[in-house]
Amino acid sequence: MKSSVSSSPHQYHQRSTAQLMRLVCYATLPGFAAQLWFFGWGTLIQFLIAATVALVTEAAILECRKQDFEKALSDCSALLTALLLALCLPPLAEWWVTAIGAFFAIAIVKQLYGGLGFNLFNPAMAAYIALLVSFPVAMTSWLPPQELAARGYDLLDACYLIFTGYTAEGYSLNQVRNLADGYTMATPLDSVKTDLSQGFTYTEALTKQPFTDGLGIGWFWINLAYLCGGLFLLKMRAIKWHIPVSMLAAMAVIALILHLSNSDVYPSVMFHLLSGGTMLGAFFIATDPVSASTTDKGRLMYGALIGAWIIIIRTWGGYPDAIAFAVVLTNMAVPLIDYYTRPRTYGHSRSVKKVKKS
């Protein structure tokens, strides 16, 4: 047997940034499709708007910085940011919401910090927060799943709604959001939160419309689809298992303790894991290679922190979902986590060098 001797790095299946980004984009497809199925065409148009604005912004700023923008555009990182942002937005948010978000993500959060690889925060999530803080009404106007809506909408309606605020027949967004009985519907997380704050118990909250068998209609399947995409990424070794596993585990453990302590007030583990953006967050957002921790031990801590924050903010915070806040808050802790979880260099002792007291 002949063994070749080579210097490190020994990993030979090396992907370029562009390949990795494209792979992640493809992996979101099941979830993307599920979202289109349950909430209509809006998300696709949001993605097109976000992608256009993101690519133009990236090119313009790189041109200002006198860098080669064709190379930077072909690495698809701006495209992935736009995709993640579009997946988080309400499908029929007006076009300028998406445009401002995509601009903010690329210009402020990414390029002002030095471009790809230098951003402290996850661009899509920081932009989502900026939008949520700026336009709370527009950003929480989610549609009911299509099967429950009084009137569905097609691709043309979606275009009209996004660009003018009304459908071709003149229905406003709020009319499209109406259910068959004339009520607008919140997302499952929102609905449970509102009911709990009004003194209902968790079990009572689940008897409302958006739920079947204790899980939100549509959201359950969307989360499962993102889970499939995430498992595909793990299989392809595009991401490591540490962050998603520790994040989901932390969420499950905390939610279980809370639920067992008082099942009237605190939702169940399954509800937390399969509503809102949990799976999208765990596999696609928290695993962003730039803003996440870079050591294995650090990744475990990073994921667990995100999971803990998600439950804390969902339970006691002012906003219904918490993926974005949790991820950005934990991004801030990444330099510290990385500092304390530096792996031991081969040949050096494990003990951390302490400052000598004189």
Partner 1 sequence: MSEYQALSHQGLWKNNAALVQLLGLCPLLAVTGTLINGLGLGLATTLVLIGSNTTVSLVRNLVPNEIRIPIFVMIIAAFVTIVQLLMNAFTFNLYLALGIFIPLIVTNCAIIGRAEAYASKNPVKYAAFDGLMMGIGFSAVLILLGALREVLGYGTLFAGAEFLFGDWARALHITLFETEHNFLLAILPPGAFIGLGLLIAVKNALDRRVEQLISKPQKVIERARVTTES
- Nearer to partner 1 among residue 29 and residue 112 (C-beta): 112
Q: How far is the CB of 91 from partner 1 (least distance, A)?
A: 18
Q: How far is the CB of 87 from partner 1 (least distance, A)?
A: 21
332: contact with partner 1 by CB under 8 A: no
Q: Which range, of 15-23, 80-88, 135-143, 210-218, touches partner 1 by CB under 8 A?
A: 135-143
164: contact with partner 1 by CB under 8 A: no
What single string gives the DSSP state of each residue in 207-270? Answer: TSTTEETTEETTHHHHHHHHHHHHHHHHHTTSS-SHHHHHHHHHHHHHHHHHHHH-TTTS--HH
Among 1, 5, 137, 352, binds partner 1 (CB under 8 A): 137
134: contact with partner 1 by CB under 8 A: yes
Q: Diameter of the chain by CA atoms? A: 80
- Nearer to partner 1 among residue 115 and residue 214 (C-beta): 115
166: contact with partner 1 by CB under 8 A: no
Quote the tokens at residue 135. 């336009």
Residues in 191-220 that interact with partner 1 by CB under 8 A: none
Q: How far is the CB of 217 from partner 1 (least distance, A)?
A: 29
SS3 69: helix
29: contact with partner 1 by CB under 8 A: no
Q: How far is the CB of 63 from partner 1 (least distance, A)?
A: 15
Among 29, 133, 168, 332, binds partner 1 (CB under 8 A): 133
Residue 328 in contact with residue 122, Cβ under 8 Å?
yes
Q: How far is the CB of 94 from partner 1 (least distance, A)?
A: 9
SS3 179: strand
253: contact with partner 1 by CB under 8 A: no
How many residues sit in the footprint of partner 1 (CB under 8 A)? 10
Sign of the CA dihedral 249, 261, 333, 55? positive
Radius of gyration in angstroms for the set of CA atoms belonging to the chain, rounded to a whole number: 22
Q: How far is the CB of 127 from partner 1 (least distance, A)?
A: 10
138: contact with partner 1 by CB under 8 A: yes
- Nearer to partner 1 among residue 134 and residue 207 (C-beta): 134
56: contact with partner 1 by CB under 8 A: no
Q: How far is the CB of 349 from partner 1 (least distance, A)?
A: 42
- Nearer to partner 1 among residue 44 and residue 130 (C-beta): 130
Q: Which of 96, 6, 10 is nearest to 46 (CA)?
A: 96
Among 29, 112, 168, 231, binds partner 1 (CB under 8 A): 112
Binding mask 75-104 for partner 1 (x = CB under 8 A): -------------------------x----
Distance CA 303, CA 43 (A): 27
SS3 9: coil
Give the E-state strand segments of the chain in sequence order: 211-212, 215-216
130: contact with partner 1 by CB under 8 A: yes
Quote the tokens at residue 45. 């148009």
136: contact with partner 1 by CB under 8 A: yes
Q: How far is the CB of 135 from partner 1 (least distance, A)?
A: 5
Among 36, 108, 179, 333, binds partner 1 (CB under 8 A): 108
Strand partners, 149: 179
Which helix (H) or strand (E) is 175 found in, with range?
helix 173-177
Residue 86 in contact with residue 257, Cβ under 8 Å?
no
The 8 Å CB, 24+ separation contacts for 51-54 are 51/78, 51/79, 51/82, 51/83, 51/86, 51/102, 53/82, 53/98, 53/99, 53/102, 53/103, 53/106, 54/78, 54/79, 54/81, 54/82, 54/85, 54/102, 54/103, 54/105, 54/106
Q: Applying CB under 8 A, which residues contact partner 1?
A: 100, 108, 112, 130, 133-138
